[in-house]
Amino acid sequence: MSIKTVVGAQWGDEGKGKIIDWLCEDAEHVIRFQGGNNAGHTIVSEGKTYKLSLLPSGVISGKYSLIASGVVVNPQAFFNEKASIESQGIVISPENLGIAETATLVLPYHIALDKAREQYSTKIGTTLKGIGPAYEDRVGRRAIRLVDLLDLETVEARLENILFHYNALLQSMNQETFATHDVLAYIKEHAVPLLDYMVSDTEIVEKAFFDDKSILFEGAQAVMLDINHGTYPYVTSSNTVSAQTSIGTGYGYPIAGNVIGVAKAYCTRVGEGPFVSELLDETGDIICQKGQEYGTVTGRKRRCGWLDIVALNYAIVKGGITELAITKGDILDEMDEIKICVGYKHHEKVYTKLPLTIDLYEVEPIYQSLPGWKSSTFGITTWDQLPKNYKDFIYMIEELTKTPVSYLSTGPDREHTFKI
């Protein structure tokens, strides 16, 4: 049996969908264990581009895919995405896709509250998909879970109380409020059909272990956006680290195996929050243009910067990362010089480990410089074909992180990924 987990090793958008899709070949089950339709996974295969937010990437290669308990499920987003992927010739049915009975639903009032809060100066720069309020409901014991839809009378009674809470908040921000019967009608129309897909994620994982199946756990967002371990408060509302595989599926035993951390050859970030190696100059613009760094979910321009080893080393420890996949090195093909952030300077003090006790906005990056490779690496699929300076860049990452770089991606297509 093989167990692999893929997590983002930066601030998201590292190309996880593509690496997951590539690793799917050897997997029998693909399990999404956190996040919701705030994620944006792009898979390019045989000339077709698939955009996934909520569905596990395994659906594209026809592997049994599971949306586990740790995920928050927007019913309308689920069916829209399903329809869009099916229109590209992929079949999705309860035969190859399950949703955990205890998964939390994302409902219209979550989205309304997310949008309302993001109007203030304390905004996080969220995807406005209602993810934060849905996870808050889970912890606040107000959430409506998939299994709850088996008893709509109780849901209706609970909704009354849930809407006291939401309407009070929305009213205080001069927003429209919700009526119970409208939300109930929405649930009947959009959420109840999800019951066709309801399964026990714990049973599926347990059985997969007993039957010696290979499992691929699909992470969304990234370690630096983890609710406990990321650059709080500029984070998402779920645990994105690999330890979440156990909690997110309700399979209590620690799930071992390889953890692949996906990182770009540079860094990007969307939304607010500190970004020490951010490039606010022409180089940043070049990376953004060449890398097409615009959000899959929101279309927002991503902030770009050099590879940050201080943050990456932190993500490796917190994320339980055992090997790295480096993507998008080809975006740096024309650079004369490539920089790697190897330390942080704060008021004359130098840090090589991510300091959580200082204001990261006040930090200056310390860079190590490498000569560029100045030749096209796009689509190269063997190590030997890569230019020497590219290889030196990868060796440098391995040396600085003490973690093997096992996979490289040199272009958007499925064929452009290889194991070193």
**What residues are labeled active site?**
13, 41
In this structure, what DSSP letter does residue 187 have? I
Residues numbered 173-232 forming contacts with ligand IMP, rule: CB under 6 A: 220-221, 225
Minimum distance, C-beta of residue 409 to ligand IMP, in the bound complex (Å): 17
CB of 382 to ligand IMP, least distance (A): 30
Does 377 contact ligand IMP by CB under 6 A?
Answer: no
DSSP 3-state assignment of 124? coil
Closest separation between CB of residue 202 and ligand IMP, Å?
A: 25
Number of residues that bind ligand IMP (CB under 6 A): 20
Any contact of residue 34 with ligand IMP (CB under 6 A)?
no
Binding segment toward ligand IMP, per CB under 6 A, in 34-42, 97-105, 185-193, 356-364: 34-42
- Which CB sits closer to ligand IMP, 127 or 403? 127
Q: Are 110 and 134 in contact (CB under 8 A)?
A: yes
Query: Does residue 17 touch ligand IMP according to CB under 6 A?
Result: no
Instruction: By CB under 6 A, tell whether 104 contacts ligand IMP.
Output: no
Contact status: 37 vs ligand IMP (CB under 6 A): no
* Partners of 268 in the β-ladder: 304
Residue 243 near ligand IMP by CB under 6 A: no
Least distance (Å) from ligand IMP to the CB of residue 134? Answer: 9
From CA 247, how far away is CA 255, in angstroms rounded? 10
Pairing verdict, β 215-218 and 3-8: parallel
Three-class DSSP category at 193: helix
Interaction of residue 71 with ligand IMP, rule CB under 6 A: no
Site for ligand IMP, residues 263 to 322, rule: CB under 6 A: 270-271
Cβ of 173: how many Cβ atoms within 10 Å?
A: 13
Task: Decide if residue 72 touches ligand IMP (CB under 6 A).
Answer: no
Contact call for residue 13 and ligand IMP (CB under 6 A): yes
The length of the chain in residues reads 420
The binder of ligand IMP chosen from 44, 124, 169, 366 (CB under 6 A) = 124
Stretch that binds ligand IMP, among 99-107, 126-134, 378-386, 402-410 (CB under 6 A): 126-134
Residues 5, 32: Cα–Cα separation, whole Å: 10
Q: Using alpha carbons, select from 19, 73, 64 the residue that is nearest to residue 405.
A: 19
Asked if 126 interacts with ligand IMP (CB under 6 A), we say: yes
Q: Do the beta carbons of residue 288 and residue 250 sit within 8 Å?
A: no
Instruction: Answer yes or no whether residue 417 interacts with ligand IMP by CB under 6 A.
Output: no
Nearest approach in angstroms of CB 13 to ligand IMP is 5
Give the range of 120-128, 164-172, 206-214, 241-249 binding ligand IMP by CB under 6 A. Answer: 120-128
Q: Is 54 in the site for ligand IMP (CB under 6 A)?
A: no
The residues, any chain, with a CB within 8 Å of residue 364's CB and separated by 6 or more, are 276, 344, 345, 346
**Nearest residue (CB) to ligand IMP, 117 versus 373:** 117
- Give the separation between CA 38 and CA 396, rounded to whole angstroms: 33
Work out which of 15, 17, 58, 132 binds ligand IMP, going by CB under 6 A: 132
CB of 72 to ligand IMP, least distance (A): 10
Q: How many CA atoms lie within 13 A of 30 on its CB side?
A: 28
Rounded Cα distance, 358 and 129, in Å: 31
Tokens of residue 396, six digits:
């440098």
Closest CA to 56 of 126, 121, 5: 5
Shortest Å, Cβ 182 to ligand IMP:
24
Q: Give the Cα separation of 366 and 352 in Å (integer).
A: 9
Bond preceding residue 387 cis, omega within 30 of 0: no
- The CA distances from residue 272 to 25, 92, 126, 234, in Å, are 36, 36, 8, 6
Q: Does 127 contact ligand IMP by CB under 6 A?
A: yes
Q: What's the min distance (Å) between Cβ of 222 and ligand IMP?
A: 7
Q: Exposure string (b/e) for 323-360, b if CB count within 10 Å is 16 or more?
A: bbbbbbbbbbbebeebbbbbbbebeeeeeeebeeeeeb
Residue 20 is a binding residue for ligand IMP (CB under 6 A)? no
The distance from CA 251 to its chain's CA centroid, rounded to whole angstroms, is: 21
Span near ligand IMP by CB under 6 A; candidates 38-46, 183-191, 372-380, 393-401: 38-46
Binding test (CB under 6 A) with ligand IMP, winner from 28, 42, 125, 413:
125
For binding to ligand IMP (CB under 6 A), which residues are involved? 12-13, 38-40, 124-127, 129, 131-132, 220-221, 225, 234, 236-237, 270-271
